[in-house]
Amino acid sequence: MPEPVAEPALNGLRLNLRIVSIVMFNFASYLTIGLPLAVLPGYVHDVMGFSAFWAGLVISLQYFATLLSRPHAGRYADLLGPKKIVVFGLCGCFLSGLGYLTAGLTASLPVISLLLLCLGRVILGIGQSFAGTGSTLWGVGVVGSLHIGRVISWNGIVTYGAMAMGAPLGVVFYHWGGLQALALIIMAVALVAILLAIPRPTVKASKGKPLPFRAVLGRVWLYGMALALASAGFGVIATFITLFYDAKGWDGAAFALTLFSCAFVGTRLLFPNGINRIGGLNVAMICFSVEIIGLLLVGVATMPWMAKIGVLLAGAGFSLVFPALGV
């Protein structure tokens, strides 16, 4: 973990600006996730002609890759420093766009195109894992470990802010120029972020003895399982809401993803001290209940507005689960 910078205490505005100047790289990585999120399920299912299983797999591969690469991202951030890890991760985001581009260019060969899409999603998952982990540690290194909670909170805000922006913008770019245009936009976002990250000053990597991953897992597995179950709701919405809307004959699936992300960000901004006031466990239980109600409402929705309210509640409920379990 990066060593905190020893310097006078920062006021609130300067502190937030310093954090945002770093977590914007995580914003860029999640923008490359959000842009194709509302496009790829329908593209795989309707345009390429594959089943809903393959549409879901294309989306899920990114998250599997993130899960498997996360321990390595943390270890390499400690060894090499978080800035290098962020740049490496953003390069992965760039290559994912290249994968989408080649998939679009080989659309006449559906199996090859699908394999290229899958490869791009795996690379994106690894890239986001490194960019996200590195951004958090870089931010902590810049403002000090005393403000780690604020760094994590800002990371969550920019993460879902990027998703909220990316989903509808991705649909616009796709309708404008197809998968190739969307891929070029993704590559441009990643490239700009890389060029902005390279000149930034580095922070020192930790020289302490690293804690083995198994030891870390032994301490956090119970909370991690709870978070994983809560994340399943987001996974279902992110993967299948587009196909769900399509099956119902509704428009506005991208807006539903935006609603989820806006509810996530809004809840964190509206209740920044909720965990300190009533305790992490109580907040987690409330959040689980709200998310369950939202998901049930989506499942039984017979009108688009019912699904949108459900998605909104699911996003609000999921928002504080991570920080609540983290304390």
87-146 per-position pLDDT tens digit: 999 999 999 999 999 999 999 999 999 999 999 999 999 999 999 999 999 998 888 877
Closest CA to 126 of 226, 33, 220: 33
Q: Is residue 1 part of a domain?
A: no
Q: Is residue 6 part of a domain?
A: no
Q: Is residue 162 part of a domain?
A: yes
Q: Are residues 179 and 101 in the same domain?
A: yes
Q: Is residue 3 part of a domain?
A: no
Averaged pLDDT for residues 284-299: 95
Q: Are residues 69 and 114 in the same domain?
A: yes
Residue 298 has pLDDT above 80, yes or no: yes
143-147, 203-207, 235-239, 264-268: which has the minimum mean pLDDT? 203-207
How far is the C-alpha of 159 from the C-alpha of 201, rounded, in Å? 23
Predicted local distance difference test score (pLDDT) of residue 326? 67
Q: Are residues 167 and 248 in the same domain?
A: no
Q: Are residues 34 and 177 in the same domain?
A: yes
Contacts (Cβ under 8 Å, ≥6 apart) of 232 = none
pTM reported for the whole predicted model? 0.85
Q: Is residue 109 part of a domain?
A: yes
Q: Are residues 185 and 36 in the same domain?
A: yes
Q: Is residue 68 part of a domain?
A: yes
Predicted local distance difference test score (pLDDT) of residue 215? 73
Q: Is residue 224 part of a domain?
A: yes
Residue finishing a domain among 195, 210, 225 = 210
Averaged pLDDT for residues 206-223: 70
Instruction: Pick 59 or 206 by higher pLDDT.
Output: 59
Predicted local distance difference test score (pLDDT) of residue 78? 82
Predicted local distance difference test score (pLDDT) of residue 205? 60
Three-state secondary structure call for residue 207: coil
Residue finishing a domain among 210, 244, 278 = 210
Q: Are residues 235 and 303 in the same domain?
A: yes
Q: What is the dihedral of CA 271, 277, 282, 283, to 10 degrees?
A: 10
What is the CATH classification number for the domain harbouring 167? 1.20.1250.20
Q: Is residue 30 part of a domain?
A: yes
How far is the C-alpha of 34 from the C-alpha of 257, rounded, in Å? 9
Q: Are residues 206 and 279 in the same domain?
A: no
> Domain total for the chain?
2
If pLDDT is split at 50, 70 and 90, which confidence band does 6 have?
very low
Residue 3 has pLDDT above 60, yes or no: no
Residue finishing a domain among 158, 181, 210 = 210
- Give the model confidence (pLDDT) of 150-184 as tens digits: 888 888 889 888 988 998 999 999 999 999 999 99
Predicted local distance difference test score (pLDDT) of residue 208? 59
Domain enclosing residue 148, as ranges: 11-210
DSSP 147: G
Tokens describing residue 91 = 């390069």
> In this structure, are residues 309 and 252 in contact, taking their beta carbons and an 8 Å threshold?
no
Task: Quote the percentage of the chain above a pLDDT of 90.
Answer: 57
116-125, 150-159, 187-196, 310-319: which has the minimum mean pLDDT? 150-159
Q: What is the mean pLDDT of the chain?
A: 88
Residue 277 has pLDDT above 90, yes or no: no
Q: Are residues 190 and 273 in the same domain?
A: no
How far is the C-alpha of 96 from the C-alpha of 117, rounded, in Å? 8
Long-range contacts (CB closer than 8 Å, 24 or more residues apart) made by 227-233: 227/321, 227/322, 227/325, 230/287, 230/288, 230/291, 230/317, 230/318, 230/321, 231/318, 233/291, 233/294, 233/295, 233/314, 233/317, 233/318
Amino acid at 6: A
Residue appearing with tokens 């600006």: 17
